[in-house]
A and B are shown apart, each in its own frame.
Chain A
Amino acid sequence: MKTTLKSRAVMSVPLLCATLLLTGGCGQKEAAGIDPKLYTDSLFAVMNADRANYTKLIIGRLGPKGADAIKPNEHWEDLANGAPLPAQMFRFGAEVVAETTDEFTYSLQSIWPINSQNAPRTEIEKAGLQHIADNPGSNFYGEEQLGGVNYFTAVYPDVAVAAPCADCHNNHKDSPRRDFKLGDVMGGVVIRVPLD
């Protein structure tokens, strides 16, 4: 069958579009360079390492069980040698990040929170925190839409890495659970990345 130049041109449009689609053209945004899961896994690795190191190398070494040179306390600012608790230190990091970038956010939450404002609020948070509590050692990943924006949300277990972590939660008057042990999942780190 003989084809005219015009018909060849018309036929070539879908082919061209298919090619451009595969290579990221035809009006489609170029795919993001990093897989969200890899991104949040990497962020969590850094957060978890820093948190554990602060707990063991600063609080453990200089606190009451070590040199007793600093007083880790919830109201550390009211003490001359007060130091933020590991969970507070973690939250301060999240607050600075929130002031620095909107590329990701993170928070420390629990289904047994000392401060009720740190209980899960979204459906993904609730499902994720329950999942990591029921399946120690595993993470949870999902997507959700909040305020009209789509997010990739990852939930990682937050484990009592030192005995005082469990003791503090067991003894705090605002704690809804008092039988934590070393190594227990006490809550979760929720990392959220906008997909839009």
Chain B
Amino acid sequence: MKALSAKTVLWSLWATAVIGLSVWLSWPLIFEEQQDIFLAGAATHGHHQIELACNACHTSPFGGKEVLQSACIACHGAELKAVSDSHPTKKFTDPRNADRIERLDARYCIACHAEHQLERTRPMGVTLPEDFCFECHEDVGRERPSHAGIGFETCASAGCHNFHDNLALYEDFLLKHSSDPWLLETQRILERPSQREDLAERVEPDAPDSVVADEAPTADWQHSAHAAAGVNCSDCHGSEQQWQPKPLQSVCAGCHERQFEGFTAGKHGMRLAQGLSPMVVDQARIAMKPEAGHRELTCNSCHSAHAYDRQVAAVDSCQSCHDSEHSRNYAQSAHAGLETPVTCATCHMPRQESPDGGFHVQHNQSDNLRPNEKMIRSVCLDCHGLGFAIDALADQALIDRNFTGRPALHVESIDMAVDRAKAAPTLDNSYQ
């Protein structure tokens, strides 16, 4: 038999390697599994749960930055609009800013929030050096002498300004609230009743006989708002022929659309929004209780399957997984000791006005935490003065103590606004 030439052997090896590599690379793309081989680097804390859902951001292989920008806006556009974004991209598209764009192309979110670069990612997913405000506001010291000499790295980190949301930090708002006491005379804490209803008439469950009825869930349900509203077993579990022992979240979403929308926009439910399996507690990058590590995050993780007790959901459910210094100190905090307690949900899942005029609980628990000054108007000012709230939220040690004690830091923004107003006491910017 004629021996193969060295050239033939080399060509064969090369062809085999190319085919093998092609199969190895295309298999994950075709079958959408093990796509981690394509990860350019670990994703930020905001996106790491969905980093393997590449299509969530890379919606098209073509289009470059425009494609990514559309993906950013698809998820974050509404919240930017809701807070009257101080630096919308449309401010930078004017050709007069061409020179600025060469230095910092703020037309694209990724100019400041580059993904897959965890090693240089700072709070709020920012990947630029902290003094980036300098690029456009280098002469701020000239028009605001109080700002002369203040480092640009402190603009957004000292509690004074945010790049996007300044609803509670703009100068006239500071002035309006400059005389607020630390605790307002009247505090507005919305009560969260247990939702355990004492119904005058016992509602009979319509579960089919073939389903072995468990007394405890039935009793829980009979005292629930669901029973009071006439939502029976079959409304969630289906008919006898199509009985679902464990209904999916989509069943909850059928009625609680706005709550589900918030849930899937936040860290608890964002995987579901991408068609991934529910998040498990072990995937979190913040301190969690080891014994809760295996738990999945679905509607029933916080709202038990049949009782739907809002008091449980407002504190106990959170505490069953979260294990930060802040959450461990809640029980001893002043907030917890109030007659109507300020709960985890009071601050992190505030009630919001719905477009239809009613109210709903914001189920995206990160919504007012990016950054935490977003809590000022949505929560803190219900009970506290603006100055106290700004100082408290800038004091990490106080946050860790779950607000037991008083702020050790003082943010001077209100003082600066007052001093400036004193210098021009007769001036007013309202239209007469």
Contact of B90 among A65, A71, A99, A122 (CB under 8 A): A99
Interface of A is mostly: mixed
Is B1 part of the contact surface with A, judged by Cβ < 8 Å? no
Q: Which residues of B contact A168 (CB under 8 A)?
A: 429, 431-432
Q: Which of B405-422 contact A (CB under 8 A)?
A: 420-421
Is A130 part of the contact surface with B, judged by Cβ < 8 Å? no
Contact B429 A98 (CB under 8 A): no
Contact A192 B96 (CB under 8 A): yes
The chain A residue with its CB closest to the CB of B421 is A173
Q: Which residues of A contact B95 (CB under 8 A)?
A: 105, 146-147, 149, 151, 192, 194
The chain A residue with its CB closest to the CB of B92 is A98
Write the nearest CB–CB distance from A85 to chain B, whole angstroms. 6
Is A77 part of the contact surface with B, judged by Cβ < 8 Å? yes
Contact A73 B98 (CB under 8 A): no
Is A143 part of the contact surface with B, judged by Cβ < 8 Å? no
What is the bound-complex CA distance between A72 and B431, given in angstroms?
6
Q: Which residues of B contact A172 (CB under 8 A)?
A: 427, 429
Is A64 part of the contact surface with B, judged by Cβ < 8 Å? yes
What is the bound-complex CA distance between A73 and B170, given in angstroms?
14
Q: Which residues of B contact A72 (CB under 8 A)?
A: 430-431
Q: Which residues of B contact A102 (CB under 8 A)?
A: 93
Is B172 part of the contact surface with A, judged by Cβ < 8 Å? yes
Is B205 part of the contact surface with A, judged by Cβ < 8 Å? no
Contact A107 B96 (CB under 8 A): yes
Most-contacted residue by chain B among A99, A116, A173, A192 (CB, 10 A) = A173
Number of contacting residues on A, CB 8 A?
37
Contact B96 A85 (CB under 8 A): no
Counting contact residues on chain B (CB < 8 A from A), the size range is 20 to 34
Contact A171 B93 (CB under 8 A): no
Contact B427 A173 (CB under 8 A): yes
Write the nearest CB–CB distance from A56 to chain B, whole angstroms. 13
Contact of B431 among A85, A107, A149 (CB under 8 A): A85
Is B204 part of the contact surface with A, judged by Cβ < 8 Å? no
The chain A residue with its CB closest to the CB of B424 is A173
Write the nearest CB–CB distance from B109 to chain A, whole angstroms. 15
Write the nearest CB–CB distance from B208 to chain A, whole angstroms. 53
Write the nearest CB–CB distance from B171 to chain A, whole angstroms. 9
Is B143 part of the contact surface with A, judged by Cβ < 8 Å? yes
What is the bound-complex CA distance between A31 and B429, given in angstroms?
48
Q: Which residues of A contact B426 (CB under 8 A)?
A: 171
Contact A74 B98 (CB under 8 A): no
What is the bound-complex CA distance between A65 and B432, given in angstroms?
7
Contact A164 B173 (CB under 8 A): no
Q: Which residues of B contact A125 (CB under 8 A)?
A: 96
Is A78 part of the contact surface with B, judged by Cβ < 8 Å? yes
Is A63 part of the contact surface with B, judged by Cβ < 8 Å? yes
Q: Which residues of B contact A147 (CB under 8 A)?
A: 95, 98-99, 101-102
What is the bound-complex CA distance between A117 and B133, given in angstroms?
13
Write the nearest CB–CB distance from A3 to chain B, whole angstroms. 54
Is B84 part of the contact surface with A, judged by Cβ < 8 Å? yes
Contact A75 B173 (CB under 8 A): yes
Contact B429 A107 (CB under 8 A): no
Is B94 part of the contact surface with A, judged by Cβ < 8 Å? yes
Write the nearest CB–CB distance from B133 to chain A, whole angstroms. 13
Is A121 part of the contact surface with B, judged by Cβ < 8 Å? yes
Q: A74-B172, A95-B90, A116-B143 are in contact. List 19 more A-B contacts (CB 8 A).
A: A63-B431, A64-B432, A71-B430, A72-B430, A72-B431, A73-B429, A73-B431, A77-B84, A102-B93, A105-B94, A105-B95, A147-B102, A149-B98, A168-B429, A171-B426, A171-B427, A174-B143, A174-B429, A192-B96
A-B contact pairs, 13 of them (CB 8 A): A63-B431, A64-B431, A71-B430, A74-B430, A75-B172, A95-B88, A98-B94, A121-B96, A146-B95, A171-B428, A173-B420, A173-B424, A192-B96
